[in-house]
Chain A
Amino acid sequence: MKFNSSGYLVKEGLKNIWTNRMMSLASIIVLVSCLIITGAAILVSINVTSLISSIGEDNQVNVFLEYEMSDIDAIKLGSTIKKIDNVVDCQYYSKDDAIKEYKEKLGNLYDSMQGEDNPLGNVYKVRLGDLSDYKKTITEIKAVEGVASVSDRGDIARTLTKLNYFVSIVGSWIVLILGVVTLFIISNTIKMTMYSRRFEISIMKSVGATNTFVRIPFIIEAMAIGLISGLIASLALISVYNPIRETAGKMITLVGTSTIPISEIWLNILLGFSGAGILIGALGGFISISKYLRKEGGEILGW
C-alpha cells in the first residue's frame, strides 16, 4: 500500500460501516457482550489472585473461643496464647463488638441478633511473627484449652486458589467460545459488505488492484467495529467495577481492602479491550475476505 492511498483506504473502510449500519450495529452488540463477559471473567480472576496474595502476606489469624466461655476464662486464655512462641500480638474482640460492626456495615438485618441471640463467638485476633512457622504456631494455639477453632488463612487461600483455577478454566472456555462466535459474526458482517460491493471489487481487480489494496478497507471496517466495541465494553466495565467492588467490600472487609482499585486498572482495561477488539476485527476481516479474493471476474459478481 502506498502512503498516498492510505487516507482513501481508511475513508472507504469507515464508509462501509455506515453503509452496512444494521449489520455493523449487530456485530458491535454481539462483540460488546462477548468482551464484557470475557472481561468480567478476567477481572474476577485477577482480583482473586490479588486476594490470595494479600492473604498470603497477612500474618493475622482469628482464634474463636468456645461459645460458653466466661470473660475471665477468656482473659486467661488470652495470656496463654500470648506466651506461645511466634505470637507477637493478641487482641480481644468480643462477640458484641463483632455484631455491632456487622450492624454498622449491613444495617437492620442484625437487629434481632443482639445479646443472647448473638450467634457470633468471642475472638482473639492474633498476629504472628514468622510466617514460616505458621503451621506450628496454629497447631499450638489450637491445642490451648477453650479454643474452639482458628481461622486458618491457609484454608481460605486454598479455597480461593481453587476458585481462581475454576474461574481461569471457565474464563478460558468463555474466551474461546465467545471468540469463535465473535469471529463468525464479524466475518459475516464483512462478507455482507463484500457482497454489496462485489461490483466494485470486480472492477478493482480488472484494473489491476492488488488483493492487499482490495482487502484493506474491509479489514479497516472490521477493526473499527472491533475498536468501537472494545471502547463501549471497557467503559461499561469501568463504570460498574467500583460500585460492585464497594458493595462487596462492605460485606467482606478483605474484598474491600485487598482487591484492585479501578484507578490502577482502568487504563489496562481500556487498552486491553480496544486492542482485543481491533485484533478480533482484523482476524475476522482477514479470514472472510481472503476466501473471496480468490474469485475472479464473473465469479465475484456471481455470474
Chain B
Amino acid sequence: MIHLKNVSKVYSNGTEALKNISLDIEQGEFVFIVGSSGAGKSTFLKLLIHEETPTFGKIEVNGYNLMKIKRNKVPYLRRTMGIVFQDFRLIDKMNVYDNIAFAMRAIGAPERLIRKRVKSVISVVGLDGKEKCRPNELSGGEQQRVSLARALVNKPGLLIADEPTGNIDPKMSFEIMKRLIDINKAGTTVIVVTHEHELVRAFGGRVIIIDSGEITEDKKISGTDTISQEFTDISDNPVPSDSTQQNNTNNNEEADK
C-alpha cells in the first residue's frame, strides 16, 4: 500500500528533513508515526499526499508511483486517502452537513449519493442531530469528528490523521482514537501522526519513531485491555494525577523494551 525506499528530502534552504527512509505499510495496518516537533513527521506526510516530492529514493502510495506521477493524476491519488488535520480545517460558514458534503462535491459526486453517504458517515462518527450546527457551535472533539467524517465520506482505503488529538481534551482524544481503531477494524489502513507518546502506549499497534529525519524504531507494541480504563481515568480527571503519570511512564518503559 505504502512503500518508501531510501527516501530523502532536502528542502531548497538546505534542511535535510528526511534521511534515507525505507518502510512498507500494508493494507489494513494501524500505524503510529511518532516524533518530536521538527523530526520530519510533517515532511513524511507531505510526501504521502504528494504536497512534496522526495529528493532521492522511491515512493509508492496506493499503487501510484509518486516519483513519476503526472500533475493531473495527483487528485486521483488523493481520492484514495482521507486526511484529518490537527486544526480540523472546517469551513466556518458551512454547517456540519455541508462541511462533510464539501469533500464529495469537490470531486463531482451526485447530490443523491452525497445525501446518502453524508447521513451515514455522520452516524459513524456519532454526530446525529448536529447536521445543522456550525463549527463554532461544536466542541473541539465534535469538530474533530466532523473532520474525521469528511475524511471518511469518500470511502478512502487509507486514512491519515495528523495530530488528530492535538487540539482536544483527553476524553475526546480517547473518543477519536476509538473511532480510528473502529475504522481500521473495518478494513481501512490508518496512519496516525502524533507526538503524544502516552496515546501511542495506551493504544498500541505498529509504532514508527522518526527522529532528526531518520527512522530510529519501527516496532509493534501491544495495546492492552487496560487502555480504555486508562483513558477513562484521564477523562474523568482532565489533569492527570502523579500516579497516572507514573503508570504511563511505566507503560512507556515497558513499551520501549
B49 close to A206 (CB less than 8 A): yes
Q: Tell me the complex Cα distance, A211–B108, Å.
A: 12
Binds B, one of A43-51, A162-170, A197-205, A219-227: A197-205
- Expressed in whole angstroms, the minimum distance between the Cβ of B78 and any Cβ of chain A is 4
Please pick, from B46, B102, B108, the residue contacting A2 in the complex, using a CB distance under 8 A. B108
Q: Are A297 and B76 in contact (CB under 8 A)?
A: no
Q: In the complex, which residues of chain B have a beta carbon less than 8 angstroms from the beta carbon of A208?
A: 75-79, 106-107, 154
Interface presence of B105 (CB below 8 A) = yes
The residue in chain A whose Cβ has the minimal distance to the Cβ of B160 is A206
Whether B129 sits at the interface, judged by CB under 8 Å, is: no
Q: Which residues of A contact B75 (CB under 8 A)?
A: 205, 208-211
Q: By the criterion of a CB under 8 Å from any partner CB, how many residues of chain A are at the interface? A: 22
Given A210-B72, A297-B46, the answer on whether A204 and B110 have CB atoms closer than 8 Å is no
Check B91–A4 contact: CB distance below 8 A: no
Q: Which of A217-236 contact B (CB under 8 A)?
A: none
Q: Are A4 and B108 touching (Cβ within 8 A)?
A: yes
The interface residues of chain A lying within 8 Å CB-to-CB of B108 are 1-2, 4-5, 213
Interface string of A223-259 (1 = CB under 8 A from B): 0000000000000000000000000000000000000
Q: B102 touching A203 by the CB < 8 A rule?
A: yes
Query: Contact between A206 and B83 (Cβ–Cβ < 8 Å)?
Result: yes
> Is B78 a contact of A213 with CB atoms below 8 Å?
no
Chain B residues 47 to 89 lying within 8 A of chain A, measured CB to CB, are: 49-52, 72, 75-79, 82-83, 89
Chain A residues with CB below 8 A from B102, complex form: 200, 203-204, 207
Per-residue CB contact flags for chain B residues 97-110 toward chain A (1 = under 8 Å, else 0) read 00000110111111
Q: How far is the CB of A202 from chain B (nearest CB, A)?
A: 7
CA distance A211 to B73 in the complex (A): 10
- In contact, B107 and A203 (Cβ under 8 angstroms): no
Max chain B C-beta neighbours (<10 A), residue from A200, A206, A211, A213? A206
Interface size class, chain B: 20 to 34
- In the bound assembly, the distance between CA atoms of A296 and B83 in angstroms comes to 15
| A202 and B78 form a contact (CB under 8 A) | no
Contacts A208-B79, A208-B154 given; does A203 touch B106 at CB 8 Å: yes
Question: Among A1, A202, A207, which residue has its beta carbon within 8 angstroms of that of B79?
Answer: A207
State which of A5, A204, A211, A296 has its C-beta within 8 Å of the C-beta of B51: A296
Kindly list chain B residues whose C-beta atoms are within 8 Å of the C-beta of A204: 102, 106
CB 8 Å contact bits of A180-220 with B (1 = contact, 0 = none): 00000000000000000001101111111111011000000
Chain A residue at minimum C-beta to C-beta distance from B105: A8
CA A203 to CA B93, docked complex, whole Å: 14
- B150 CB–A CB distance under 8 Å: yes
Q: Measured between alpha carbons, how far is A208 from B51 in the docked complex, in Å?
A: 12
Q: Does B137 have its Cβ within 8 Å of any Cβ on chain A?
A: no
**A207-B150 contact, Cβ under 8 Å, with A4-B110, A296-B51, A297-B51:** yes
Do the beta carbons of A209 and B107 come within 8 Å of each other?
A: yes
* Cβ contact within 8 Å between A205 and B107: no
The answer to whether B111 has its CB under 8 Å from any CB of chain A is yes
Per-residue contact bits, chain A 1-23, to B (CB 8 Å; 1 contact, 0 not): 11011001000000000000000
- The answer to whether B107 touches A202, judged by C-beta atoms less than 8 angstroms apart, is no
Give the residues in chain B near A4, CB-CB below 8 Å.
108-111
Please give, as numbers and ranges, the residues of chain B lying within 8 Å of A8 by CB-CB distance: 105
Q: Which among B75, B83, B154 has the highest number of chain A CB atoms within 10 Å?
A: B75
User: Which A-chain residue is minimally distant from B91 (CB atoms)?
Assistant: A200
CA distance A211 to B110 in the complex (A): 19
Min CB distance A1 to B, Å, is 7
Q: A214: which B residues are within 8 A, CB to CB?
A: 106
**Contact present for A199 and B79 (CB under 8 Å):** no
The CA of A199 and the CA of B83, in the complex, are separated in Å by 15
5 more CB-based (< 8 A) A-B contacts, given A200-B91, A207-B82, A297-B51 = A200-B102, A207-B106, A208-B106, A210-B107, A211-B72
Q: Which 7 A-B pairs have the closest CB atoms?
A: A208-B79, A208-B78, A209-B106, A5-B108, A297-B51, A2-B108, A207-B103
> Which residues on A are within 8 Å of B, measured CB to CB?
1-2, 4-5, 8, 199-200, 202-211, 213-214, 296-298
26 contacts between A and B (CB under 8 A): A4-B108, A4-B109, A4-B110, A5-B108, A5-B109, A199-B91, A202-B89, A203-B89, A203-B103, A204-B102, A205-B78, A206-B49, A206-B83, A207-B79, A207-B83, A207-B103, A207-B106, A208-B75, A208-B78, A208-B154, A209-B75, A210-B107, A211-B72, A211-B75, A296-B51, A297-B49
